[in-house]
């Protein structure tokens, strides 16, 4: 190797290190607004103990991963306003005015089915209850994939005496069938 090549390699290495440092700085500055810019700590995020305990108490399900437990409630907070929801004793979302009434329709799926960010009386399954004159039971669960929704249906099917089952599917539902850490999806 020529000794004249060494300074060129050292200079190229220094330039490459400077470019890498600049790129890292850009990622750290823009990460707040662009969560798809991942960093090594995303592979093993720290989750607070109280969050884990609440998840175990309110949502953990050994077969499905998570499913809101009967008799629980929650509050979805968004800039547009807060929306309270509750889960009835049968595991479906509360359907105001139709509690205890016969049901011939059941809905399964993800947050589109569950109707995140709206109150119990503002969901499309609740509106369908009024149109059909039956208690449309809403078994949607936020962030479910189609596989989880199907497993949930299989679990609830013996209790459903109705003739109609709606499997609510949107593009994101299909994408969730893949198993991966959500930060690596994009």
Mean pLDDT by 10 residues, the chain (186 residues): 61 82 80 72 86 93 94 92 95 95 94 96 97 96 91 91 90 70 58
Same domain, 57 and 26: no
Q: How far is CA 134 from CA 35, 121, 149, 160, in A?
A: 42, 14, 22, 13
Residue keyed to tokens 């500055």 = 29
- CA 55 from chain centre, in angstroms, equals 13
Q: Does residue 131 fall inside a structural domain?
A: yes
What is the chain's Cα-based Rg? 24
- In this prediction, residue 48 carries a pLDDT of 95
**Range of the structural domain that residue 16 is part of:** 5-37
- Residue 94 domain-assigned (yes or no): yes
Contact 183, 38 (CB under 8 A): yes
Q: How far apart are CA 107 and CA 136, in angstroms?
A: 7
pLDDT of residue 94: 97
Q: Is 184 inside a domain boundary?
A: no
Q: Which pLDDT belongs to residue 22?
A: 86
Cα separations (Å) of 75 from 84, 131, 148? 4, 27, 23
pTM score, whole prediction: 0.74
Q: Is residue 164 part of a domain?
A: yes
Q: Which of 125, 124, 128, 148 is nearest to 68 (CA)?
A: 148
Classify residue 43 by its DSSP letter: G
Examine residue 59 and state whether it is found in any structural domain, yes or no: yes
Number of domains the chain contains: 2
The answer to whether position 42 is within a domain reads no
In Å, the largest CA–CA distance within the chain is 88
């Amino acid at each position: 190797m020529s000794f004249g090549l060494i300074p060129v390699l050292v200079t190229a290495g220094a330039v490459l290190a400077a470019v890498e440092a600049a790129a890292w700085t850009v990622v750290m500055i823009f990460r707040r607004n662009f969560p798809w810019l991942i960093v090594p700590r995303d592979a093993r995020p720290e989750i607070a103990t109280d969050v884990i305990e609440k998840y175990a108490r309110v949502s953990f399900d050994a077969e499905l991963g998570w499913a809101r437990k009967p008799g629980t409630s929650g509050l979805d907070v968004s800039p547009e306003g807060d929306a309270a929801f509750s889960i009835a004793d049968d595991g479906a979302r509360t359907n105001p005015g139709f509690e205890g009434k016969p049901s011939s329709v059941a809905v399964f799926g993800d947050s589109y089915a569950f109707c995140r960010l709206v109150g119990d009386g503002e969901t499309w399954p609740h509106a369908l209850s009024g149109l059909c004159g039956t208690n449309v039971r809403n078994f949607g669960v936020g962030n479910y994939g189609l596989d989880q929704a199907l497993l949930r249906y299989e679990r609830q099917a013996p209790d459903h005496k109705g003739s109609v089952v709606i499997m609510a599917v949107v593009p994101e539902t299909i994408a969730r069938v893949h198993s991966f850490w959500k930060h690596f999806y994009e």
